[in-house]
Amino acid sequence: MFVTFEGCEGVGKSTQLNMLKEYLKKTGQDAVYVREPGSTAISEKIRSIILDPENTEMTAQTEALLYAAARAQLVAEVILPSLAQGRTVICDRYVDSSVAYQGYARGLGTEFVRSVNAFALENAVPDVTVFIDLRPSAAFRSVRREDRLEQEAADFHDKVYEGYIAQAKASNGRFVMIKPEKDKLATHKKILDALRERGVIK
Ligand code: TYD
């Protein structure tokens, strides 16, 4: 199974991924954990170019292509080989991030972003996408703004959220919408239930 996690900045996605990882370790369930952009030597180098706050002159097109390039390497080097071995792959962000951030928020359009990514994906489509469903305007205040994408204005992050919602509606059930609770353990349990229901974990 190929599982991805998506959400806006500062919604607790990393915390939930760590809790899931701990749970799967504790219960002896194998999985491969990767994050985007990154998780291969080449993809991590591309990541540092994309997120460098000094790269103010980067065009939206360059940004989209760099995310796709980092993804192509990760798909070929880790995701497809791991799935071929029958392992579960859990990926922090994937192509839905590109559609939401570059397609909707940057305004490149979903068609451009999807066609660029078609080269990268090689049919590696997630079975389940866990979406932490929280508007960034509420979530974002608690986040430190350090990298180039985080420094975007609030309306950029609102558009990211709208982009996710549009994709979720069109996803034929691939998106699992998780409304985060104040208690992160309660959110964790919601995610476990959803993944159990879909046969991803025990
Ligand atoms: P990261 O620090 O990993 O953010 P987070 O913890 O929120 O996942 O930085 C990744 C940033 O890149 C984040 O702002 C989302 C953005 N991004 C895109 O714009 N397009 C993409 O395709 C991906 C994978 C990420």
Pocket lining: 72 vs ligand 1, CB cutoff 6 Å? no
CB of 177 within 8 A of CB of 2?
no
Q: Whose CA is nearest to atom 7 of ligand 1?
A: 9
Q: Which residue has the higher pLDDT, 35 or 139?
A: 35
Rounded distance from Cα 79 to ligand 1 centre (Å): 18
Nearest CA to 31 among 72, 3, 8? Answer: 3
Query: What is the tens place of the pLDDT at every residue in 151-192?
Result: 788 889 999 999 999 999 999 999 999 999 999 999 999 999
Query: What is the tens place of the pLDDT at every residue in 68-78?
Result: 999 999 999 99
Question: What average pLDDT does the segment 60-64 reach?
Answer: 98
Question: What average pLDDT does the segment 142-157 reach?
Answer: 80
SS3 185: helix
Rounded distance from Cα 182 to ligand 1 centre (Å): 23
The CA distance from 193 to 145, in Å, is: 32
Pocket lining: 101 vs ligand 1, CB cutoff 6 Å? yes
Q: Whose CA is nearest to atom 16 of ligand 1?
A: 149
Q: Whose CA is nearest to atom 25 of ligand 1?
A: 97
Pocket lining: 88 vs ligand 1, CB cutoff 6 Å? no
The CA distance from 165 to 177, in Å, is: 9
Pocket lining: 6 vs ligand 1, CB cutoff 6 Å? no
CB of 188 within 8 A of CB of 20?
yes
Q: Whose CA is nearest to atom 3 of ligand 1?
A: 36
Q: Residue 201 pLDDT > 80, yes or no?
A: yes
Rounded distance from Cα 93 to ligand 1 centre (Å): 7
CB of 167 within 8 A of CB of 131?
no
- Residue 120 CA to its chain's centroid (Å): 15
How high is the pLDDT of residue 142? Answer: 59
Query: What is the tens place of the pLDDT at every residue in 16-42?
Result: 999 999 999 999 999 999 999 999 999
How high is the pLDDT of residue 141? Answer: 59
Query: What is the tens place of the pLDDT at every residue in 102-117?
Result: 999 999 999 999 999 9
Structure tokens at 20: 């899931």
The CA distance from 182 to 50, in Å, is: 32
CB of 129 within 8 A of CB of 4?
yes
Phi, psi of 88 (to 5 degrees): -80, 135
How many angstroms separate the Cα of 33 from the Cα of each of 48, 116, 169?
A: 20, 24, 27
What's this model's pTM, rounded to 2 decimal places?
Answer: 0.96
CB of 94 within 8 A of CB of 39?
no
Confidence of residue 138 (pLDDT cuts 50, 70, 90): low
Percent above pLDDT 90 for the chain: 89
How high is the pLDDT of residue 77? Answer: 98
Question: Tokens 């990882």 correspond to what residue?
Answer: 21
Domains in the chain, CATH or no CATH each? 2-197 (3.40.50.300)
- If you count them, how many residues does the chain have? 202
Question: What average pLDDT does the segment 82-100 reach?
Answer: 98
